[in-house]
Structure 1
């Protein structure tokens, strides 16, 4: 270990910051590795003791983000994120601009009343879902979303910790604290400018989708259905009140024998709710009002409906989504060593053995119409349908089958959608605890993460996989830099220089200097650190100039949320680097105009809303 003289510690911190920023701009070194190098540099130069240099790993912000990522994974695995993403995607009507506006508006409004970091962590799986469906790439959406979350800090008092820091400092120095919506009008102007900028200019600078995305190249179940030339219609039928099927089992109904009607799944009303039964068996008893998802030859449909009082049923979006998560299809190849070779589908009792239906057989690339009694040969391909869980089990029978093609719907399956009510309750309680300050935010999030595992919305292994370790190491490695600057006197050097320059300057000129110094510190360190350091400075400067402290205090507030230009400036931005595959230059290019826009709003509007 080596050390530098104490009087050079501040300069050493500035050098470490500059080198780290330079390495990031080259985009050739992993950000988490740079963060580890920063920690080592602070320890080996003696600037910080070992415990202080490693303190970032125990920082509440790092723990908070890890917990929020687990909550986000819970929302994804239980289908909540899917529904939100589908709703936004559906109402955007295929317009990229409308999609961006809706996403930014939703994120900003939610972040205005709860933790912005929490909202971004929760929205990441939602955005990934939208990106997969639209084939537009997550990089086109994640950065605008995170920028909207940053701007939310300019909307309400509780949107971000720096706002509370600044309001508290005003109160400590004998001034009225800020109100909940004191600065919201200016924030709304900033948000409107962000949406306009992203829709008109920014979207053209965002990273494009990867054309090699194999998930988007998969075919749908309907495409497989058409390829096998299945002569059956997939339809939903509801059993009427006087149907002869009421009280009979599926086997007793003889629907397959009489009409070739195969029940794929059904839903029955249980205590006022429809309960889906994906894995149907012949002994299930049918009741009036049951909804059957069936495959039936089109020529037999009318006769089956009339004879059994069946009516066409149009399921809700929720029911359709549930079925797509439970019921699927796959194309498999008969293995040369399969025990099914030489047997027909009927003789092999395929449905009884595997709980799945075969709806098509292809041999030598030709579909075969009457395949039930066809003796199977090696390399015959089967179109198999049924519950995804049983399809997965079939795929594991690799001595009998080889998976030929998995449809696109397989990547959208939600493994724990039955736990959606539990996930909604957990998230709601977490949000309420955040809004009404029932518990510290970290405690609320950790309780939510534990509840997600206890209620089996996800298991512990899934929870660990949900954490973006690269993002956490990056954040933990950069947090000690703020302490290093303060302890070595680097912060004092900056303040002294500012006071010297501002001694004979006008109030408006001081506003400009305060804004850009706060923004610089925000983009290098963190918004909370910059607010803690700059709030008392801004108020002191106002008192020296003999003007109201509110314009400069609000300037610090807005600049502290303008962390647009670096991926380490805020956890809100750090979180989206990995899933969005962003480079350092992306933040410089897209963030610079936004920083100037926030400055323009501060320069023009703050003196109007908060007179000197």
Structure 2
């Protein structure tokens, strides 16, 4: 082993450990790895940032923009709308959901496809009176399977295509293997797999988890109140310890202001619509001297103690929660959300975004901490309140995905036709050989901006820049593994183990090794690390390089056994009430099915 090889192995080892540790963002870890190979001289300065202009990186960015254009045009939502008609039979629901998400994932970002269909799956679960855990894991795994069918279905396929000598793979070159494992995977999940998902019965009543009506109360500022003429902020901070009370609206005469500013000056007779548990509400009343605007027991009855008198939602006719500008929505925090690790108080969500955090749930249970002090985790479910016309955009900006309350954006027929036409034109140009994939897809992305399916700002926001930076930084690191001879050294050691193995056994070894790696690190990073090693091994064993590249592509995309293997797995963890160890119960047998189907098809088509 040379010094250069030792350095590149140390850098890769450190990088993989940091990926698994998950204390730093994966794009930051990738940049540290890039800087390490630059400082040690393994990659020349003039080639150090070439990854940012790599065709694979450009293609991934263009696919993300086109995916957003298809969403804005209502293409996928039109498909999702039809799913509500399939009935309550679990087998039929699983089959339909996994099939639709797989089809969508073949052509748009698989996380985006999952985000669109996850609310539908939760709604279907609630309508059938079952736990969402029954449908959400199959839905996530279906999105991973579908991404294997085309070049643009998932970043690992785009990365693998760049390693092919003598030209890249075509748009549908992945289809023989991808379609085979997708069909086999869907069949397994539908017939057997969904029965292996855990039953989180507490999640089956998710609607009751955020039963806001049980905690809504109207409070009035009485005559001669010490808080008349002072600000809402003064009221809240003057109630002893910071109260666990959320002010949803302020009613003054015939006027109503939702999510009022904490600097709003209160007047005698103002009515505050507040959300609080009964204990916090009683303490708040005792400390502030406010009074109940009306009683929960009836219009002519009185009570001195509110702790046992919850106000039902239907009694709040004066301040409806589902009409006008006041809107409540459940949303899940995505892994890359700016909320992760922050608190509502620190982010000033009410002042900056006019957004109230009404409740937070984690691992299937509503958190009882003070809302302003809860440090958000990826996968937390939030019950948020905001203005109906801006709530969707605010959640997108914060990196949150609306759940069952999200209305489908069907779009106008004209927008749907334009989005579909632009996308199909890009695909046709690639298939016909008129344009290379990066050029055709960038042209499609630009066209969607020109026809105003999205603004330029929205196009930039639709790109997951953390993934772009990861790819751009790891590509030179992967090349360093190859140029220093490190890939060949690993391949020669693997050759000792595999010299007496058949071609099928070698492909199984590559596919399984890549799968195991992709379950603990980002799948694109796994593809970048394993691809040069697989090519070196193929050269030593005289195996067609396309065959080993396909094995790497399948292994990198099929991370079913952990919630950290792919964003799709992480996104369903909280809404489904899953635990870390739940994934392997369905993921392990599904991985076996994929391996058993993929290897013979790879040998048939590519050897």
Q: Normalised by the shorter chain, which TM-score bucket?
A: 0.5 to 0.7
Matches for 1:177-576 after TM superposition, within 5 Å: 181=176, 188-189=183-184, 191-193=186-188, 198-201=193-196, 203-204=197-198, 217=211, 333-335=250-252, 364=294, 382=318, 419=412, 421-437=414-430, 438-506=434-502, 509-513=505-509, 515-516=511-512, 525=525, 527=527, 534=534, 538=538, 541-542=541-542, 554=547, 556-564=549-557, 576=568
Deviation at residue 91 of structure 1 after TM alignment: 2.1
Which of the residues 132, 146, 151 maps onto 2:143? Answer: 146
The reply on whether 1:103 has 2:97 as its aligned counterpart is: yes
Deviation at residue 123 of structure 1 after TM alignment: 1.0
**SS class of match (2:556):** coil
Report what 1:83 is aligned to: 78
Deviation at residue 80 of structure 1 after TM alignment: 3.7
The reply on whether 1:28 has 2:18 as its aligned counterpart is: no
- CA change 1:581–1:62 in 2 (3 A) is farther
**SS class of match (1:334):** strand
Deviation at residue 485 of structure 1 after TM alignment: 1.0
- CA change 1:566–1:77 in 2 (3 A) is same
Contact 1:519 1:562 in 2 (8 A): yes
The reply on whether 1:126 has 2:121 as its aligned counterpart is: no
Contact 2:119 2:406 in 1 (8 A): no
- CA change 1:139–1:46 in 2 (3 A) is farther
Q: Distance in 2 between matches of 1:420 and 1:215?
A: 37
**SS class of match (2:452):** coil
Contact 1:100 1:144 in 2 (8 A): no
Report what 1:326 is aligned to: none
TM-score after normalising by structure 1: 0.54
Deviations 1:262-283 (A, max 9, x none): xxxxxxxxxxxxxxxxxxxxxx
Q: Which has the larger radius of gyration?
A: 1
Q: Distance in 2 between matches of 1:418 and 1:187?
A: 30
Aligned length: 441
- CA change 1:14–1:596 in 2 (3 A) is farther
The reply on whether 1:17 has 2:12 as its aligned counterpart is: yes
Structure 1 gap ranges (5+): 1-5, 228-330, 343-361, 369-379, 397-401, 544-548
Q: Distance in 2 between matches of 1:82 and 1:579?
A: 19
Contact 2:87 2:93 in 1 (8 A): yes
Deviations 1:416-471 (A, max 9, x none): 75545324422332134225514333334333433333333333343343333334
Report what 1:248 is aligned to: none
Report what 1:316 is aligned to: none
Contact 1:69 1:466 in 2 (8 A): yes
Contact 2:327 2:385 in 1 (8 A): no
- CA change 1:566–1:208 in 2 (3 A) is farther
Q: Distance in 2 between matches of 1:487 and 1:111?
A: 34
**SS class of match (2:15):** helix
Structure 2 gap ranges (5+): 127-131, 219-247, 258-266, 269-291, 300-315, 329-349, 351-355, 359-383, 393-404
Deviation at residue 181 of structure 1 after TM alignment: 4.8
| Of 138-147 and 56-65, the range deviating more from structure 2 | 138-147
TM-score after normalising by structure 2: 0.54
Contact 1:74 1:452 in 2 (8 A): yes
